Homo-oligomer: A and B are copies of this chain.
């Protein structure tokens, strides 16, 4: 993983993220207000129709978001995520990129794209994050 930013908060949040490990998601890159994650598609990600499960797609997007929102070293959580499911995918790798489009003292807004190996848009998310006031 490339490291361009204050990683205190990101490290704390991701190093011990057992759900991301269980699902098989890796963080590739993080910088100020940006992060990229990927998930190698395996049998455990498929739903009953042999497509990657919506919640697995959500999971890789959520990890990219978590890294981007916490890249500033202030603890933050999603309060609202809207996901548009656009194309189905069955194999290969999913790549999620999260980009910050606004940030103020308490709230931030993020767009996250999830694409397949061919660059097709699998899902797009718009997310609002709430930043906890740092304790002195």
Contact = CB atoms under 8 A, between A and B. Distances in A.
Nearest to A51: B77
A55 B37 CA distance: 14
A111 B128 CA distance: 15
How often does this chain occur in the complex, in copies?
4
Interface residues of A, number: 54
Nearest to A126: B126
A98 to B, nearest CB: 13
A13 B46 CA distance: 11
A40 interface: no
* Secondary structure class of chain A's binding surface, majority of residues: mixed
B79 A126 contact: no
Contacts of A12: 48-49
B80 A79 contact: yes
Contacts of A130: 106-107
A17 interface: yes
A28 interface: no
Nearest to A10: B48
